[in-house]
Copies of this chain bind each other. A is one copy, B any other.
Amino acid sequence: MTLTGNLLIGRQSLRGTHGTLHAIDAATGTELEPAFGGATPQQLDHACALAWQAFDPYRETAPGRRADFLEAIAANILALGDALVDRCVAESGLPRARIEGERGRTVGQLRLFANMLRQGDFLELRVDPAQPERKPLPRPDLRLRQIPLGPVAVFGASNFPLAFSVAGGDTASALAAGCPVIVKAHPAHPGTSELVGRAIRKAVDDLDLPEGTFSLLFDAGLEIGQGLVADRRIKAVGFTGSRAGGMALMAIAAARAEPIPVYAEMSSVNPVLLFPHALASRAEAIGTAFADSLTLGAGQFCTNPGLVLAVAGDNLDRFLQAASARLATLPAATMLTPGIHRAYCAGVASLAGHAQVQTVARGPAGSATQGQAALFATDAAAFLADPALRHEVFGAAALVVRCRDLAEMRGVIDALEGQLTAALHLDDADHDAARAFLPALERLAGRLLVNGFGTGVEVGHAMVHGGPWPATSDGRSTSVGSLAIARFLRPVCYQDMPAGLLPASLCPDSPQRHSWRVDGKLPGCAG
């Protein structure tokens, strides 16, 4: 399984000739072989041309065939075995068990969408039968299905080298929808990207799918990623990363002759609300669990709990003591890249030096590439006075905001920008207090969770991993779970179309007929 450092453009493994990039061993800071060649604008154009050619034939493959494709990708990823895990551990600095778990999640996501395709009801089929006798005018026959938007650009994420990169959630949902995908690999894990890209490539070949169904590009700078979003043949973008990066892609997409949707998952501090009775009864347990969640994966999760809100007092102090004690036992962990490590250290230093912020605890110090956990505290007045305190510090750092009372805590919530998650720790006796917060929290976040933390995002049908700006660029969407497919679909109506020309799913003898919504009514019993 030798890495080539080549681009995958359609069926070809091609050397990029527009600069080079190397992976860095995250733990040691040394360069890893081989050199990866950056794509030229001509190679980008070639990949886009192939994706466009593939779009019409690929989108009309039977859903069952696309399900086979996704399952073949999953099998091919597993077949890479330790070669994939070893390379991914080296490039990301993440522990082996985490990478194995993430591989399981990646494979699980692909299979979830495969199951959904076999079930067939993601098409949201609707049929309003003709009423030729209606007065004053007959009603035409109207049939609606969802079709894919077109080729999708996916940007690999630094913090999920498998589950949100080459064959991650964006790719899986786009391929399931019927969209060809061009991945711009994250420069921090090009070797992992090549291996996974080849797993996809093999599945394309084995299932004899259109050549341009998938391509993988490396970018030695920013030009290829930007050019990908600007290309007229690309019709949507999936991105997980920084706010600045997401906004740059949004600006490019909005400035096109044909603007396109960008699904960017950008930043979130994921407020954790500790309600008084829960804090009184379980401060130590919550504090310990909080420290575990904060440091998971060196804190490099979009759903990392970066902000804690509670009423000041002895019980909050108990929480802080327990969290501090736990943090002291959790070793520093290697961060994904030197750049992320530098940004984390700068963010921590900024909080530590803030006149209104107290350093409550630090985790054990580590090596020069490891992130040392940090727990800070301030009060609500200071938090509200300085918007800089609301910014995400990507890594295992959190800020606890001491509030005078629940009313002030509510004021802090109202001052926050959109979030991926909000966690509520509560006992039965807290229900009335919590209920008063729910409307504001629903407006704030895509997921509200009780007596837990946002890390560990379940991949299911009812999951939302999204949220109002700036958590994501489009708060109407989720990037995790089966509903993620909706991002890449648009409705088309067929009016008075003869059966011989209708898409198979809308024909009178359609196998998906059981899932039709007829005259607006949900499908129900056959009888």
Contact = CB atoms under 8 A, between A and B. Distances in A.
A521 interface: yes
B491 A446 contact: yes
Contact of A501 (B56, B435, B478, B498): B435
A31 interface: no
A369 interface: no
B493 A128 contact: no
Interface string A447-480: 1111110001010111110101110011110100
Contact of A498 (B431, B458, B468): B431
A23 B132 CA distance: 40
A248 interface: no
Nearest to A447: B493
A464 B493 contact: yes
Given A137-B456, A498-B431, A501-B438, A491 B520 contact: no
Contacts of A149: 475-476
A174 to B, nearest CB: 14
A331 to B, nearest CB: 22
Nearest to A150: B443
B142 A497 contact: no
A475 B489 CA distance: 9
A116 interface: yes
A40 interface: no
Contacts of A137: 456
B143 A450 contact: no
B116 A520 contact: yes
Chain A interface size, under 10 / 10 to 19 / 20 to 34 / 35 or more = 35 or more
A495 B448 contact: yes
A223 interface: no
Count the copies.
2
Nearest to A487: B476
A525 B525 contact: yes
Contact of A493 (B142, B446, B452): B446
A462 B493 contact: yes
A520 B461 contact: yes
Contacts of A515: 522
A126 interface: yes
Nearest to A494: B448
A524 B523 contact: yes
A314 interface: no
A491 B519 contact: no
A254 interface: yes
Contacts of A469: 258-259
- Which of A137, A449, A462 has its CB near the most chain B CB atoms (within 10 A)? A462
A490 B418 CA distance: 13
B496 A449 contact: yes
B461 A259 contact: no
A479 B493 CA distance: 13
Contacts of A470: 258
A116 B519 CA distance: 11
A144 B466 CA distance: 12
A472 to B, nearest CB: 10
A437 to B, nearest CB: 10
Nearest to A473: B259
A496 B452 contact: yes
Nearest to A236: B476
A450 B497 contact: yes
A420 B345 CA distance: 52
Contact of A497 (B439, B448, B496, B524): B448
Given A140-B449, A464-B492, 18 more contacts: A56-B443, A139-B458, A142-B463, A147-B442, A149-B476, A150-B443, A250-B259, A254-B254, A258-B417, A259-B473, A445-B492, A446-B491, A446-B493, A450-B496, A461-B517, A464-B491, A476-B491, A525-B526
Interface of A: 56, 60, 115-116, 119, 121, 126-128, 137, 139-140, 142-144, 147, 149-150, 250, 254, 258-259, 261, 417-418, 428, 431, 434-435, 438-439, 442-443, 445-452, 456, 458, 460-464, 466, 468-470, 473-476, 478, 482-483, 489-498, 500-501, 514-515, 517, 519-526
23 contacts: A119-B521, A121-B522, A126-B461, A128-B461, A140-B458, A144-B461, A144-B464, A258-B469, A259-B473, A261-B474, A428-B500, A446-B492, A446-B493, A447-B493, A448-B495, A449-B494, A450-B498, A450-B501, A451-B496, A461-B520, A476-B491, A522-B522, A523-B523
Closest 4 CB pairs of A and B: A449-B495, A464-B493, A461-B520, A142-B462
